[in-house]
Amino acid sequence: MAAYFLCLVLFSIGLYCVLRKRNLIKIVVGLGIIEYAVNLFFALVGYRARGRAPILSADQVISNMVDPIPQALVLTAIVIGLAVTALIVAIAIKIYEKYGTFDITKINKLKG
């Protein structure tokens, strides 16, 4: 329970960064923190006390395994996170090229 809550605190830090920071790279950093928090939450959810990694071995019997499904899902989520980060960084670099700054308050051709 406390672990879940701490994980959501991490999520909130990322959320705060995305909502309040005025720099494109800081926003990307915030998104990264949010992703980490969600991935960690998944892994926490699948943990079993004194469990073993979900990999079978030829010469021993493993009885208590941690839940393998969240691990499979997180593997997918990590890739998706990498893809989104790469695309957003590319857009940010391109914006830098056009405006010469990462500061969001100076980038406002569009309004609301």
Partner 1 sequence: MNTAPLFVIIPLGTAFLVSLVGKYYKRSSDVFSNVACCILLGLSFYTLSIIRNIPTHLLVYKIGGWAPPVGISMVIDSLSVFMLVTVNLIAFLVTVYSVDYMNKYTDKWKFYTLFMLMLTGMNGVIITGDLFNMFVFLEIASIASYALVAFGTESEELEASFKYAVMGSVASSFILLGIAVLYSYTSTLNMADMALSLTAKGPAKILPFVSVLFLMGFGLKAALVPFHAWLPDAHPSAPAPISAMLSGVLIKSLGVYALARILFNVFGVTDVILSILMFLGALSMLVGVFLAVGQWDFKRLLAYHSISQIGYVVLGIGLGSPLGICGGLFHLFNHSIFKSLLFLNSGAIVYSVGTRDLHAMGGLREKMPVTANTSLVASMSIAGIPPFNGFFSKLIIIFACVQSGHFGYAFWAVVGSVLTLASFMKVQRYAFFGALGKKRQDVKEVPLAMQISMAILAVICLVASTLVLPAFSDFVTSAAAVLSGGKEYANLVSGAFK
Partner 2 sequence: MIEIYLLLLFMIVGAVIAVEVKDLLSSVVAVGAVGLGLSMAFLVLKAPDLAITQLVVEILCLIILIRATIKKDLPFSTSGRWVFNTTFTLLFISIFLTFAYFSLKNLPPFGSAVMRVAKTYVDQGLAKTGAANIVTAIILDYRAYDTLGEATVLFTAVIGVLTVVRRIGRKTGKGQDAA
Partner 3 sequence: MQRNVEPGMTLIVKTITRLTVGLILLFGIYIVLHGHLSPGGGFAGGVIIALSFVHLMLAFGKDVALKKLSAGVASLLESFGALMFLSIAVLGYIGGCFFLNFFMNKGLPFHLFSAGIIPLCNIAISLKVGAGLCAIFTALVLLNKTDT
Task: Figure out which of the listed residues 2, 19, 55, 110 binds partner 3, where binding follows CB under 8 A.
Answer: 55
Q: How far apart are alpha carbons 27 and 105 in whole angstroms?
A: 13
Binding mask 36-55 for partner 1 (x = CB under 8 A): --x--xx--x----------
Q: What is the DSSP letter of 53?
A: -
The verdict on 2 binding partner 2 (CB under 8 A) reads yes
SS3 23: strand
Task: Figure out which of the listed residues 6, 9, 13, 53 binds partner 3, where binding follows CB under 8 A.
Answer: 53
Write phi, then psi, for 18 (nearest 5 degrees). Answer: -65, -40
Q: How far apart are alpha carbons 70 and 77 in whole angstroms?
A: 10
- Enumerate residues 8-47 that contact partner 2 by CB under 8 A: 8-10, 12-17, 19-23, 25-26, 28-30, 32-33, 36, 39-40, 43-47
